[in-house]
Amino acid sequence: MKASKIGLLILILGFGGTVETAWRVRNHVGGFPRFWFDKYGGPSFRYENAPEVRTVAAGTALVIENRHGLVSIKQAPGSEMRITLAKVVYLPTDEKAREFAARVNLVATDQAGRLHVTTNRHDVENSARDVGFETHLSITVPPGTPVKVDSEHGRIEVSDVASAELSGSHEEIRVERVAGPVTIKGRHDDVTVSTVTGALRAEVRHGRVEVKDIDGAATLDVDHGSISAERVGGLVISNSHGDVDVAEVKGDLQVVARHSGISASRVAGRATVETSHNDVNLDEVGADVSVKVDHGGVRVEDVTGNAKVRTTYNDVTLTRVGGTTDVEVKHGGVRAEGLAQDAVLRTTGGNVEVDGFRGRMDVVTERAGVNLVATAPLTAPITVRTSNGDVELDVPAGSPFGIEASARHGDVSANVSQLAFITNEQSRIVGQLGTGGPAVKLDATHGNVRVREKTALAAQQNP
Amino acid sequence: MAPRFKPESLVLAVCLIGLGVIWTLGNMGRIDTLASLRTWWPASLVLWGLLELVRTFGESRDRRPS
């Protein structure tokens, strides 16, 4: 027999065997491999029931349970709830699908103070496990209706209701214009919420969360999804593996995150942020700031209150801090500008550079240098201690202060006019400029100490 | 000389056409794809056998002395 005949025989028998096996699996096992003949794949047919209308008392709650289908709730004038069920059946022919769809019905039950709406999906599925079908519920409700929805594998859309308690998965949840509180539990898809008068509480896994215009406080617990929040009364966030972007919080902001980048601006109250393996950016905070980051950088700008920052393996940048500053960095440096009050700065492995400060300055570094530029006459003590790095202090001309500077394994120099030296040695100087003034104590180990007058500095830079 | 008749080529072509037609009708919702394939796949063996018979008779007639 020729090879072509053997090949064709194997092809036909192999194809026939595959078809026979698939047929037996579909008819006798009850499920089916979802690579070709998916239960929710192939031809489908849509049928819509006539709306079911229920007249309800004011404030009657709507409770919905649904699987595999859209739940859409909108407001309409009057005192009626109008419920429309649309069915999509996945069967090969219109005749079979229509016959199957006739078995799927709406189940609406009046209970004390609420209308419970669902379908007989459970019963139908038990008798036909191999047929895929969707049940889409579109409902109009009277004004002021509280809503509760429990849905899986279906999109949820709710607007203009009194309150909303929603649980959904595998499709988006979208909520707009709610007069009271909103509670959401979402899985495996995005959640979008806008214009809520009450408080918002959302717990979301594997989905992005976007909230806007929330008058009350918002509590967002999100894993493996990013968060975007805009114009929120107050905000408490728990997040992992997704970035957080916040704009305009009327109250306090509190974030506890892991593996998340945090960016927030225009926070009226306190901002407390904790994250890891990513950066934190805060702009325009109206009260205190507290930031803790593991393996990430921090940038803080325009803070009215105190700033407390702890981070590792990256740098901290501070600009215009109105209150006190307290920074501790391991394996990173600090760059600061416009520190209005006392500052305590601790670093290892990164330089400290401060341009413009007014209060007491207390700096300790290891394996790094320090550069302080005073833009106004000194009014508070300065203490700097470094190891394996230089100390540079630039003071304005005529600013009275008393100085004691020393360098172990390094040199000390002071180029300040009118500075009267009490001790002037290569590695130690003690002196006084004018009368009174704050004490300046600079100490370097394995580094040099240089004190310069700002005019002298300008002359050095522009000879 | 006319090209030699090859039943397997004809069977393969007809089967491909049949498979495409059934699949298309299935996607259009006119028939159940799997049920139709299961019903009609053995017909390809019948078709092939018939074509082999035609070829055998044809060759024996050609060899008969005129």
The interface residues of chain B toward chain A in range 22-51, judged by CB-CB distance below 8 A, are 26-35, 37-38, 41-42, 44-45, 48
Query: Does the beta carbon of B5 lie under 8 angstroms from any beta carbon of chain A?
Result: no
pLDDT band at A411; cut points 50, 70, 90:
very high
User: Angle between the B7-27 and B43-63 helix axes, to the nearest 10 degrees?
Assistant: 160
How far apart CA A196 and CA A184 sit, in angstroms, is 13
pLDDT band at A62; cut points 50, 70, 90:
very high
Mean pLDDT of chain A: 92
Contact at CB, A5 and B33, closer than 8 angstroms:
no
What is the predicted ipTM?
A: 0.78
Whether pLDDT at A136 is above 50: yes
Given A11, A92, A97, which is nearest B26 (Cβ)? A92
Q: Which tokens in the block code for residue A187?
A: 């899985």
Whether pLDDT at A32 is above 80: no
How far apart CA A283 and CA A268 sit, in angstroms, is 11
Q: Which tokens in the block code for residue A240?
A: 């992992």
Q: What percent of chain A has pLDDT over 70?
A: 95
pLDDT tens per residue, range A110-133: 988 999 999 999 999 888 878 899
Output the DSSP codes for A283-303. EEESS-EEEEEES--EEEEEE
- Low-confidence winner among A24-38, A127-141, A337-351 (lowest mean pLDDT): A24-38
Q: How many helices (H) and strands (E) does chain B have?
A: 3, 0
Output the DSSP codes for A423-438. EE-SSEEEEEESSS--
Among A304, A313, A212, CA closest to A266: A304
The dihedral built from the CA positions of residue A376, A377, A381 and A385, taken in this order, carries a sign that is positive
pLDDT tens per residue, range B9-65: 888 889 889 989 988 887 776 777 888 888 899 999 999 999 889 888 888 877 766
Q: Taking residues A414-424, report their average pLDDT.
A: 90
- Do the bridges between strand A146-152 and strand A156-161 make them parallel or antiparallel, or are there none, so unpaired? unpaired
The predicted structure's pLDDT at residue A31: 45
pLDDT tens per residue, range A341-372: 999 999 999 999 999 999 999 999 999 999 99
Please enumerate, as own/partner, the contacts of A197-205 that have beta carbons within 8 Å and a separation of 24 or more. Answer: A198/A163, A199/A233
pLDDT tens per residue, range A176-226: 999 999 999 999 999 999 999 999 999 999 999 999 999 999 999 999 999
